[in-house]
Amino acid sequence: MSVIKSMSVGLGDMYYIRHNSDNFSIIDCMLPVDDEYRREKIVDELIGQVGGNDITRFISTHPDQDHIQGIKYLDSRMPIINFYCVKNATIKDDPTEDFEHYCKLRDGSKAFYVRKGCSRRWMNQGGEGRGSAGINILWPDVSNPDFKDALTLAEAGGSPNNTSCIVKYSLNSGVTALWMGDLETDFMKKIDGHVDLPKVDLLFAPHHGRKSGRVPDSWLKEMDPAVIVLGEASSEDIHYYSGWDTITQNTAGDIAFDCVVGRVDVYVSNERYTNEKLINNPNARAHRLGNYIGSFEV
């Protein structure tokens, strides 16, 4: 069993994976700056999920503020030992304290630079009696000219959205989940054919589900996701993926996916939220993950 949780953090992204091995992963950071209690509770939860023998890692998809906000606070309470990011030299015209801390981690000894097909012990390799986390990086191809152009733009102070990595998590005989950072639609179309997309059970829509990050139809057909999670963008900016089963974080709140062999049970923090497309499974466990709204098979 493993648990994937998408935190309700406002206009940004933050996730964690409690792996079914001695691994714990955080993907991106968006801690509230104006709600100290909520910020502390989120980090308290992260700390509470980590076992004493766990390999922990922080995966940064890209260095926009809504994906790194609060990273300095997180690092102070839960020291980041393994920092995974795309190798970049992004700059900001008006850098925040968190961006400066990101750069310190990015350029320091704790950094591991991810790229398409990279391998690392306990990320996707087992060893010394410990299983792997089941994480693989599908993008970027650092030799791709469109990716190089995106890096150049970010290094000149432009948007780093299209420097985002694509992260796949797979559980043996269970879920396959995919994160795409803030990749934009036009960029995804440019690199069509250069990304080896798998069949996906759970897709976290890029750019918080915004229309600007709408996943191309050719990609959706190839991945064929069972569920697409839409982030907390403004409702008028969201692409709702008609014809696909979606969960909208704006109304669902925190979303937890309890991943077991052949099935995923879904829980949300909003007790009034429902999803008629999910199936009811009487074997779903009632526990502190939240309000059970249904399951889907994988």
Alpha-carbon gap, residue 231 to 228, rounded angstroms: 10
Q: How many domains does the chain have?
A: 1
| Mean pLDDT to the nearest integer, 61-65 | 98
Bridge partner list, 256 = 5, 267
pLDDT at 284: 86
Angle at 118 between CA 70 and CA 126, to 5 degrees: 90
Residues 224-251 have pLDDT tens digits of: 999 999 999 999 999 999 999 999 999 9
Enclosing domain of residue 61: 2-297
pLDDT at 128: 83
**Which DSSP letter does residue 287 get?**
S
Q: Which residue has the higher pLDDT, 171 or 52?
A: 171
| Mean pLDDT to the nearest integer, 127-136 | 90
CA distances from 236 to 35, 49, 91, 214 (A): 25, 35, 30, 14
Is residue 267 over pLDDT 70?
yes
Cβ proximity of 69 and 30 under 8 Å: yes
| pLDDT classification of 286: cutoffs 50, 70, 90 | low
CATH of the domain at 53: 3.60.15.10
Block residue for tokens 């970027």: 140
| Mean pLDDT to the nearest integer, 31-41 | 94
* Single pTM value for the model: 0.97
pLDDT at 272: 97
Q: Which two tokens stand for residue 195?
A: 């990304």
pLDDT at 167: 98
pLDDT, mean over the chain: 96
**Which DSSP letter does residue 108 get?**
S
* Pairing mode, strands 263-268 and 255-260: antiparallel
Q: List the 202-204 sheet strands across, edge first.
A: 135-139, 166-170, 176-179, 202-204, 227-230, 246-248
pLDDT at 276: 93
